[in-house]
């Protein structure tokens, strides 16, 4: 991008998942695109090798992985992800940070599970990933979401 180019402004609003319901805030956000949900500060610790992550763990916002061998972290089904977000709407987005604090050269591989996974999938020892999850379909039985992963080099 050139230094003097214009950048389109984006209206991003944040609200905690635990505060979402059919309240006035949700009604106001209903027309907004790319609503951010799931802003929390809890840390989920994962020690071992392979796990299927829960929607609640991802919504906590931070996962500290300490794999004891090569590990695979699989994302939950789309139905479980949508069910975990009260009043879920297409475009709802949240971000999770994943840190690999392994004591040895053990890599965490991200697996799509029920998501469409875009971006990097291998998180090496002492590296991190930022993963943005966006709901793309919230209709019962056809739920879908995309996980956009940016992995540190």
Per domain, the residue ranges of the chain are 14-151
Residues with Cβ within 8 Å of 128's Cβ and at least 6 positions away in sequence, in order, are 97, 98, 99, 100, 151, 152
What pTM was estimated for this model as a whole? 0.73
Span 89-144, pLDDT tens digits: 999 999 999 999 999 999 999 999 999 999 999 999 999 999 999 999 999 999 99
The answer to whether the CB of 8 falls within 8 A of the CB of 1 is no
The percent of the chain in helix, strand and coil, each rounded to the nearest 5, is 15, 40, 50
């Amino acid at each position: 991008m050139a230094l003097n180019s214009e950048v389109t402004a984006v209206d991003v609003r944040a609200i905690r998942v635990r505060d979402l319901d059919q309240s006035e805030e949700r009604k106001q956000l209903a027309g907004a695109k790319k609503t951010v949900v799931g802003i929390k500060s809890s840390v989920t610790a994962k020690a071992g090798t392979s796990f299927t992550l829960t929607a609640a763990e991802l919504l906590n916002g931070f996962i500290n992985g300490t794999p004891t061998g090569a590990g695979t972290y699989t994302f939950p089904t789309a139905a479980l992800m949508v069910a975990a977000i009260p009043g879920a709407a297409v475009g709802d987005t949240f971000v999770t940070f994943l840190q690999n604090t392994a004591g040895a050269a053990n890599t965490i591989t991200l697996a799509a599970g029920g998501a469409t996974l875009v971006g990097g999938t291998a998180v090496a020892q002492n590296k991190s990933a930022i993963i943005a999850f966006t709901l793309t379909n919230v209709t019962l039985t056809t739920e879908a979401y995309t996980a956009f992963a940016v992995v540190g080099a």
